[in-house]
Structure 1
Amino acid sequence: MSDNSPSPDTSVKAARPMIEAEGLSKFYGPFAAARDVTFSVREGELVAFLGPNGAGKSTTMKMLTGYIAPSEGTARIAGHNMMENRIEGSRHLGYLPENGPLYPEMTPLTMLEFFADARGMSKTLKKDRIEKVVDICDLSSVMYKAISKLSKGFKQRVGMSQALLHEPDVLILDEPTAGLDPNQIRGVRETMRRLSETKTILLSTHILQEVEAMADRVVMINEGRVVYDGDVAKLREIGSGDLDDAFHNLTTS
């Protein structure tokens, strides 16, 4: 398969890179989950990270966050090497993995208080930040309910609130709309638009309509390699005007 990747959009080159993948590879024996993945997300961008199931998206995101070590290459968040200086990098990072772990016996309030204490927040800061993330994620109606009793949509919001709690300037979100109904997806889209005004976001999704509605740029991966890095308009051209066709053309041999 030929590489149809256009050059990345040059309009944001003045902004500093906040998420950097440099030659990231992850090998499990002879199998390469990711191979030589290279791209960056600059300050203020919302970049959609696309690819079919098993393409290496989640593996790449886990390497970027320092959750797993790359076999080769370097991951940086806000300039910090995530293998050498993960704690400093994590101060800038909010990470929401797919089906992110929650404590089902806790309420959203007790979980947020727990994470605030774990981060060493003062009593005043903890109160302020919890109030703000509850407002951003629209959790006020479920704050005292057990997380196990919440809908999939509210559980996603709780996970998002935890990722936002320490006011990071970088967000890496793996399939935040997975399993949500259309109204819940609309709510996530509105939240992303608000957050993108002040944060740098890498967002993994399978919903191409969401890409067009939210993303400044698209990075697409297939079989562990980057096959596209550019804007939505140029991606549409590859599919003769159709994003579904562009996705198919870039991810099939």
Structure 2
Amino acid sequence: MIQFTDVAKTFRKARVLDGISLDIGLGERIALIGSNGAGKTTLIRCLLGEYTHDGTVAIAGLDPRTNRTAVLGNIGFVPQLPPPLKMPVGQLIDFSAALCGTDPKRIHDLAGRLGLDVDAILSRQFVRLSGGMKQKLLIAIALGREAKVLVMDEPAANLDPEARKIFFDLLAERLDDATMIISSHRLDEVSALVNRVIEMDMGKIVLDDKVADAVSLTATLACRIVLGRFEPAFAKALAGWNFTSQDDNRIWHGEIAGPDRLRFLGIVSRYTALVSDLSLAEA
């Protein structure tokens, strides 16, 4: 469905993406995690065809930069920072709906579910809305189209708690018909939605773990971690999960409850520079 092959991007001699190769299959739901500056947004912008880069990117076999109309017509995108559009809200909704053949009412309804009264702001310029209102509208536009790929860059950043819950409920309704890439600092928020976790650091992929949908909430997962070097803080964190060590604290073994698997991976992700191998298997 989506292929990145040896993708690299440099800004002013700074290597932001460093040889990313990645295959994302139809129906996969990716949590793209990593600290600020890790390269997540740049990777997404390359996927959308917004940046030139070394290597290749393809969505359903098409280059998103040379086939932007065809590719973007099948993508629902929520950016991290709303664009400074001066277009009135009503015009923006109609324009967006026309691009993908969606009934504008669908966008109105989704915005309403998120708590945004669209009818009250139809004549207001998008740029003059509050951060939360902009985010709700962009989410409604992205989910309002019948897109096969949903790409969301920190989509819940400006949402109030109630809207955040509703937003993730809306995403859950699309689990069976969309491939998702959700960039987030909070792995716990998306843990119930995703079946694969990819962490980036300094322009590289440092963790790529598939979490099988078949793993039940009552399952126990056997975990084995091999460290490239010992770090007392990481050893303390693993001991807190009742892990035991061998081979001079280089190899660690333990068991993780199914519902805790992504929370555990979130903790391990803080120490990815130390980890040379990690495996999870149903016990």
Q: Give me the TM-score of the superposition, normalised by structure 1.
A: 0.78
More strand by share: 2
- Contact kept in structure 1, 2:64 and 2:71, CA below 8 Å: yes
Q: Note if contact 1:76-1:89 (Cα within 8 Å) is conserved in structure 2.
A: no
Letter in 2 for 1:63: C
Q: Does 1:116 align with 2:97?
A: yes
Structure 2 distance, partners of 1:171, 1:102, is 22
Question: Is the counterpart of residue 83 in structure 1 residue 65 in structure 2?
Answer: yes
User: Which of residues 271, 276, 282 is equivalent to 1:249?
Assistant: 271
d(CA) in 2 for partners of 1:162, 1:45: 22
Q: By how many angstroms is 1:232 displaced? A: 4.8
1:133 aligned onto 2:107: yes
* Superposition deviation, residue 251 in structure 1: 6.0
Using a 3 Å threshold, how does the CA distance of structure 1 residues 150 and 83 change in structure 2: closer, same or farther? closer
Q: Which of residues 112, 118, 121 is equivalent to 1:142?
A: 118
The answer as to whether partners of 2:50 and 2:65 remain within 8 angstroms in 1 is: no
Asked if structure 2 preserves the Cα contact closer than 8 Å seen for 1:41 and 1:202, the reply is: no
Which of 26, 37, 44 aligns to 2:20? It is: 37
Matches within 5 A, 1:205-216: 205-216=184-195
Contact in 2 for aligned 1:77/1:93 (Cα 8 Å): no
Select the residue among 43, 46, 49 that pairs with 2:32: 49
SS of the aligned residue for 2:94 comes to helix
Number of equivalent positions: 226
RMSD: 2.7
Specify which structure has the higher proportion of helix. Answer: 1
> Which of 166, 177, 181 is the equivalent residue of 1:187?
166
**Aligned-pair distance for 1:194?**
1.2
Deviations 1:46-68 (CA, angstroms, capped at 9, x unpaired): 11111100000000000011011
How far residue 166 of structure 1 moved from its aligned partner, in angstroms, is 4.1
The alignment partner of 1:131 has SS state of helix
Q: Which moved more, 1:80-89 or 1:223-232?
A: 80-89
**Whose relative contact order is higher, 1 or 2, with alpha carbons under 8 Å and at least 6 apart?**
1
Which deviations, in whole Å up to 9, do the C-alpha atoms of 1:27-46 show, x marking residues without a partner? 12421011111212211121
Cα shift at 1:158: 0.7
Alignment of 1:92-107 (within 5 A): 92-101=74-83, 103=85, 106-107=88-89
Which letter does structure 2 place at the counterpart of 1:86?
R
Aligned to 1:6: none
Report if the CA contact (8 A) 1:221-1:228 is conserved.
Answer: yes
Structure number with larger C-alpha Rg = 2
- Check whether the contact 1:66–1:83 (CA below 8 A) recurs between aligned residues: yes
Letter in 2 for 1:43: L
Unaligned runs of 5+ in 2: 213-220, 226-236, 242-263, 276-283
Aligned-partner residue type, residue 63 of structure 2: N
Q: Offset at 1:183?
A: 2.1
| 1:22 aligns to 2:44 (yes or no) | no
Residue identity matched to 2:91 = T
State which drifts further: 156-165 or 59-68: 156-165
Identity, in percent, stands at 28
